[in-house]
Structure 1
Amino acid sequence: MELLDRITDYLVDNELKLATAESCTAGLIVSELARVPGSGQSIDCGLGVYSPQSKHRYLGVSFDTIDRYGLTSEAVACEMASGALNNNDADVALANTGIAGPNPGDDDTPIGTVCFAWAFRENGRHHHFSETRRFDGTRNEVRLAAAHYALERLPHYHRLSIDAFL
């Protein structure tokens, strides 16, 4: 709970409102954060978007991006984060897409591969960050590790975005 308390405090202290666009974690990021009393004031929404069609419909992810880079890609994660930021009342959006298991992706992406994106809005401008990580464990261990990792990295990328906006 220490991580979740720390991230909730960070969101509250920085007056940030969070939206998530989650494929691999299917809402686990926002669900984990919601375990903390008082976190609701910093959560706008959590979207679970598994299929390419839902990524396109709800977040505006381009089918061309999916075809070119694959569903498990930083390009898709970035478009997911942008869509979550643009379509909601949030200052920060976290997105992920990946392969939790039990089988590798259609393009042989290894189990445990998760692509993340963090998007921030400040005075009408956006800043994006992305990275790919690989987690070990069972399907649900990968999902939980990915959810916690996305939250853990939020303060780091927020500080970088503040520097970029200055």
Structure 2
Amino acid sequence: MSVTDEQLESAANRLGDHLIRHGRTIATAESCTGGWVAKVLTDRAGSSAYVEAGLVTYSNDAKRKLLGVTGKSLEEHGAVSEPVVREMVAGALAATGASVAVAISGVAGPGGGSEDKPVGTVWFAWGSSLDNTVARVECFPGDRHEVRRQAVLYALQGVTGFVESA
């Protein structure tokens, strides 16, 4: 699936509009997308009204130091896992004070995949507290760029659905 800049902009604007209407803020905790979600959210003038912070925690060490992801979760499940993205959301909320956070960790390729986690596997989580967090996994087709673009769109749409239903 080819994701366009227009699709990313539209998804980011929809989320931004909702956050503005409800006086909420967002933080991102990104690994494989390298800050791309924060980038599209902040492409819009005035986004400082709803974007609190974007944390790129590409290494496991950064996930531990900046977001409080436990070494146990990383060792037992790996960085690309449900427990880790859930902890990334909790850490982003704690570090920033945002009302909602989104976390992404995946295998964008071209290497790094395994039988259990092939290239294209991406874990997502979004939530407003440790007890109110939703996690999802997807496996996207395509090369590194295509996987990352699809992951950004999926994250924006997922967190938008979460905040709109709250």
Superposition TM-score, scaled by structure 1 size = 0.88
Greater RCO structure (CA 8 Å; 6+ sep): 2
Pairwise CA RMSD? 1.6
Q: Percent identity?
A: 37
User: Which of 60, 64, 68 is the matching residue for 1:60?
Assistant: 68
- Match of residue 72 from structure 1: 80
The offset of 1:5, in angstroms, is 1.7
The offset of 1:20, in angstroms, is 0.6
Q: How does 1:26-45 map to 2 (within 5 A)?
A: 26-45=34-53
- Match of residue 115 from structure 1: 123
Q: How does 1:72-111 map to 2 (within 5 A)?
A: 72-105=80-113, 109-111=117-119
The offset of 1:155, in angstroms, is 2.5
**Amino acid aligned to 2:140:** F
User: Which of 19, 22, 42 is the matching residue for 2:27?
Assistant: 19
- Deviations 1:117-153, CA, capped at 9 Å, x for gaps: 10215xxx85111000111122111111111111111
Superposition TM-score, scaled by structure 2 size = 0.88
- Unaligned residue ranges in structure 2 (runs of 5+): 1-8
Deviates more, 1:106-115 or 1:9-18: 106-115
The offset of 1:89, in angstroms, is 2.2
Q: Tell me the secondary structure at the aligned position of residue 151 of structure 1.
A: helix
Instruction: Kindly report structure 1 stretches of 4+ aligned residues shifted beyond 6 Å.
Output: none
- Deviations 1:60-94, CA, capped at 9 Å, x for gaps: 00010111111110110000110000111200010
